[in-house]
Chain A
Amino acid sequence: MTAVLLAAILLPMLSVPLLVWAGARWGSRAGRVALVVPLTSLALIGWLLSGAEAMTERVVTIPWIPSLGIELSFIVDGLSLFFGLVVSAMGVLVTLYASSYLDDHYRDHGRFYAYLMLFMASMLGCVFSENLLLLFVFWEMTGISSFLLIGFLHDKQDSRDGARMALFTTGGAGLAMLAGVVLLGEVTGTYSLVALRDGAMTQSMAEHGASWDGILTVAFVLMMIGALAKSAQFPFHYWLPNAMAAPTPVSAYLHSATMVKLGVFFIARIFPIAAMLEAWTPLLVSIGFLTMLLGAIFALLSHDLKGVLAYSTVSQLGFLVGFYGMSNTDGASLDLLHVASHVFYKGCLFMVVGIVDHAAGSRDLRKLGGLSRRLPALTIITLIAAASMAGLPGTMGFISKEYMLKAKFDHWHSDAWLNWLPLTLVIIASLVKVLFSIRLVRSTFFGPLPSEIDEHFHKPSGWMLISPAILAGCCLTFGLWPDLISPALRTLSVEGLHLETSIHLKIWHGWTREFWTSLGIMGLGAFAWLLLGAGRLNRAGIPSWLRFDQAFNAFMNAIPAIAKKITSLTRADRPMDYLPIILGTIFVSVGSLIVVHGARLLELTGLRGDWRVSELLDPLRSFVLLLVAIAVLMVTTLRRWTTQLVALGTVGFLLTFYFVLFRAPDLAMTQILVEAATLILVLMLLSRFPRAAETGERESRPAATRRIMNIVVAVIAGLTVTAFTFVVATSKHAEPAGDFYLKQSVPAAKGTNAVNTILVDFRGFDTLMEVTVLLIATLGALGLLMRYRRTEAEAKAGPMGPPGMGVIHETDAERERWTDR
């Protein structure tokens, strides 16, 4: 079984490079080849299902990264098999459909099928995952492949924006989900869904008491953010209609049948774990049913056929989310029926829209009409699917709605608002649904045939009809004989999620409350349609303040400007501020630490009792110190480079005094030599500078505030270093290594000068590297001297970047050598 399952998931993934190759070779016919892949997966999952009679769940685990708690762990149970079947079967139908839809007017067929199979593999991985982290990995992979699919027609700005929006909305919310999953994993100690269901959750709750409830609720809400965004629930509903920029097969597959169901799937998956939380029902019911109503109204107000379907999908997903929310914590029932019903009619309608778009060249409800005369078969298919969407008797949509209403009527929640809110919203939404179902059929297929549509019209390939016809057939068959599904539902029932009841679905079960309600909805819907009429709806539109997508795009486009503002606020582009900020940060923090720990540090210095500063400074040293201080002040206050340099040199010369004082005449001499050489060299160099450079420097004095700030920073830095040097030099410390060098200089290193033995023997490696530094510095100087000089034309062209970065500092002849032409 392991091999079969892995093959079902991995085959589509492995087929990706092959499909790219096939596309390059066969063009639009690659679709027929690609069909093999979902068919194989479907067969393999079907085989798994045939072995699932016993209804037991089976878990396959392959270790992957054990230290992170993540394993390649897959579960085969009713839920995963159901969704696996939906994904692979829809995969077959959509590939079949796409192979006709993506004709030679399109490009990159190979890539399309490759993305599609990548997506299918991620979906299969996701639904079969038993490990929450693994599920998240596949979850994000569906997001990436959906990004590529939405942006398939990437020449258009719409496609790119839609793809970006989908990726950010679901990806960003996915991060919340990641946080939720990790939080749950950290709290309970496992990421395994089975372990969580079988007690890890309740056990950790029992161990930690009531406070744990809060954390678990936070984890749950975070996970729900991810799931709800994936299923395009309010307030994330905006991305789905924009994802319609994808080619229609993608919309049919990802954005109605499979990927957007992931949120619903996830809710079902964690139902056994999380349904007991108090937040479960209020959160899901309120968001789900609110979305249901909003989606339905938006669908009514949209004019693009795909927009209508997208919003109606949002609405239906809202219903499914709410349905899980209001289910009894013991388990839901018939949820799979509702999902399947939606897959059938919505997948079918999307494919129909694709055909209409193909044939008539428009998807605008205001421009279409009268197509029934040209496309009779398609009209029948659409009528069936739309009837199912509206919930007319004889279709699966009717069965679904009946049983949903029945479930609500049968199971009353203790909180009154959790009863009336869903019921009211469902009834209103269903009403609106009837309305836009009528509108969809009426405006597309009936009425006069506009002349421009007629001119553009060309008959679609019969192949394209196969997939929607199969789906419509399902709507009708299971609508008329619902009991056909009952055994499947029993087989697929899942422990913890589903109530153990022996279900027998019937199309007619008497004059019940739910039947009256259905009847009322249909009647009122038809009446409202007569009242409103097509014309009035054509003039309506979605109010712009509810169109979050516009706000989202505006926000996305504003981000760079905002980022620029923040970046400039942090002074990242102001070189004059760099050093004061850096020095200030370091020395203010060090300085304040010294102040805070002042008493303790003073104690460490060994200066106890009645010492005075004057005692620490003998006259000779103080005098030299004074001279150094004056020289330093001159460096900072003098205004000419030359005099500044001389003052700086003075500081250096005066420092030699200290070497003498510490009986190191050789170092003193070195210091004098270095100072003299540096001073002479730099002065010589400066004398060759143009005079303007020096005067220019003098005239551009910084503003007073900056000068004061610089002085403050400098003073703090100086005081801090002085204070800490004083502390370190005078405080007690461990036996220093220096003593060893003094002692061992003669016996071990055979040298009488300890400094020399340290430099060339004990720590000769340092010296080797310092010599290397000198060599490198020479090379650097050489490099500066031999730098490329720009021609006048290049200099005028502005910054070009170094060679290679698109800039080629070369002759035309050189360029010839690299190029073919």
Chain B
Amino acid sequence: MNLVAMPILLPLLTAIAALLLRADTLRRGIVIASCAFQVIVALALVILTARQGPIALSIGDWAPPFGIVLVADLLSSIMVALAGIISLASIVYGYLELPCRLEHPLRIPLTQFLMVGLCQSFLTGDLFNLFVAFEVMLICSYALLTLEADDWDIKQAFPYLAINAVGSMIFLAAVAFAYGIFGTLNFAEISQRAAGMSDDPRVLILAVLLLGVFGIKAGLFPLYFWLPNSYPILSTPLAALFGGMLTKVGVYVLLRVFGTVLPQDLSGLHTVLAWLGGVTMLLGVIGAVSRNFVRGILSFHILSQIGYMVLAIGFFSPYAIAAAIFYNIHNNLVKSSLFLVGGTISLLNGTDDLKRSANLWRATPLLGVAFLLLGLSLAGLPPLSGFWGKLMIVQDGLRQGEYVLIFVALFTSIFTLLSMMKIWNASFWTQDASVPVRIHDRRWIGLTAVTCTMALLTVAVTIFAGPLIELSHQASEEIFKRETYIRAVLQLKADRGGVVDQAVSVPFEAVSDPIDGTSNPWLPEVAR
């Protein structure tokens, strides 16, 4: 049985089941079981791809490039696994936070649909299908953003919707352009055909357009405006899921498209990417410092960490890509856990406004320890997981002589520490008798337990940093080498019968041959 479709099918079926069932304990049980199973499947996929290399599946048994393929390489599997873990944590957290009666009946189905979109975008090997996955994800996020937001906050959802809708439109245009240029939408085939076209300005322009589209998705400067004010209106578990995974899709597609699909010698564009990453992290961290409530700080920090990853992608060496992947593993876990900590803070203090929050270090030391571990890890203090990613980026940056960007990265990390300490000093260390700690609200125990489990997970990332970094290196090699990815897809072609002949019949050389104007049906008649 082919595991590749499972991460998409499981949440899809769960979502439909959840729509049909009443929002009661039974549904909760089913959903949790399904999420746990998703995690297991994803981890199995990671192990499989780490051992065997990429696994491909052609949907509907149509040979690529005509049918749609799903491809799980190591990077995709890692992302799917992270999404599974974070969605499990977020759903358990949500269940512990609100009883069945108060739970919004649509939250779980929509969350699961969101997972469908996430996993599909990680696994698809087709540009248009990626667009469709984005649509699924976006429409889910619109719905989730407005689902529980109150009348005051809901207006913040509007820029999110407007910007992302425009982004989708540009993406669709870019997909059409890609088809026009390469004559195919299949990643592996585009990759083959584009390899010889790196000096073709059309490829460069398409790359810039895609950079814009994915830059919007990832939250790159100056395209990030939709993010920092819209995430704070989400409820805690959803913020964890959004903050942990949704923007990281942008990073993933940047990795995928610039690593696997487009020619690898677009070095000018990579430099642009690195500088955009630098500016993004700087403005992100400055924005975080300017905010005075936990969700706001964390939302802006998403940008600064995206900047880190994009910086690494911009360095575009196998080592830097490995750094980006490892940083991603670390950051997804830490960021979503921090949102969960923020939620617990506001449960206990009744607010996450730092001016009105206090007393937590004595009241809930475990939450404090979890926050310290996560916050210091986010700031990249050794020996916590964030440090290793930062170290790899610094190593590669200095190796390449990018001194200014490394300075910016280190500057960012000290300011990250500043904003984390702002939360720590205000919520945990400050003693203020007038601030109540609602310790009698027993829910905090469960919420802290989830948070601590996630913190332990990041500690595990620290302890097993060695193997995980090895894994990242392997994933990065796979992206850089491309052959294994392309071979996995082309193998599908070879496995199919008669139809395949035509499918493979495009010899690679023919691509760069000028096609006779007379036979080109897309040319207006005058030009023929």
Chain A residues close to B by CB (< 8 Å): 20, 63-68, 107-108, 111, 133, 136-137, 140-141, 143-144, 151, 154-155, 160, 164, 167-168, 171-172, 175-176, 178-179, 182-183, 185-186, 556, 559-560, 563-564, 566-567, 570-573, 575, 577-579, 581-583, 585-586, 589-590, 593-594, 597, 600-601, 604-607, 611, 615-616, 721, 724-725, 727-738, 740-741, 743-744, 748, 761-766, 769-770, 772-773, 775-777, 779-780, 782-784, 786-790, 794-795, 798-807, 809-810, 814, 817-821
Contacts and interface: CB of A to CB of B under 8 A. Distances in A.
Interface string B281-321: 00100111110100100000000000000000000000000
Contact of B236 (A137, A171, A795, A805): A805
Contacts of A795: 151-152
Contact of A616 (B236, B382, B469, B526): B526
B469 A734 contact: no
A417 B232 CA distance: 60
A80 B113 CA distance: 58
Contacts of B233: 801-802
Contact of B183 (A571, A736, A789): A736
Nearest to A788: B150
A168 B526 contact: no
B205 A560 contact: no
Interface in B259-288: 283, 286-288
A804 B201 contact: no
B430 interface: yes
Contact of A737 (B184, B222, B346): B184
A820 B440 contact: yes
Contacts of B511: 734-735
A68 B392 contact: yes
Contacts of B177: 724-725, 728
Contacts of A67: 466, 469-470, 473
Contacts of B362: 107-108
B252 to A, nearest CB: 18
10 contacts: A68-B395, A168-B417, A590-B205, A728-B176, A734-B184, A772-B136, A787-B148, A795-B152, A804-B97, A805-B235
Interface string B209-239: 1001000100000111110110011111100
B526 A615 contact: yes
Contacts of B216: 582
Contact of A581 (B94, B184, B185, B225): B225
Contacts of A133: 391
B414 interface: yes
A770 B235 contact: no
A743 B505 CA distance: 14
Contact of B466 (A64, A737, A818): A64
Interface string B389-428: 0011011001100000011001001100110010001000
Nearest to A559: B289
A740 B153 contact: no
A606 B523 contact: yes
Interface of B: 12, 19, 59-60, 62, 65-68, 94, 97-99, 101-102, 104, 106, 109-110, 113, 116, 120, 128-129, 132-133, 135-136, 139-140, 142-143, 146-154, 158-159, 162-163, 166-167, 170, 173, 176-177, 179-186, 193, 200-202, 204-205, 208-209, 212, 216, 222-226, 228-229, 232-237, 283, 286-290, 292, 295, 343, 346-347, 349-352, 361-362, 365, 376, 381-383, 387-388, 391-392, 394-395, 398-399, 406-407, 410, 413-414, 417-418, 421, 425, 429-431, 440-443, 465-466, 469-470, 473, 499, 502-503, 506, 510-511, 514-515, 517, 520, 522-524, 526-527
Contacts of A743: 502
Given A737-B65, A779-B106, A582 B225 contact: yes
A568 B513 CA distance: 52
B294 to A, nearest CB: 10
Contacts of B128: 763, 766
B47 to A, nearest CB: 20
Contacts of B19: 779
Given A182-B394, A762-B62, A582 B102 contact: no
Given A763-B67, A770-B132, A803-B148, A65 B204 contact: no
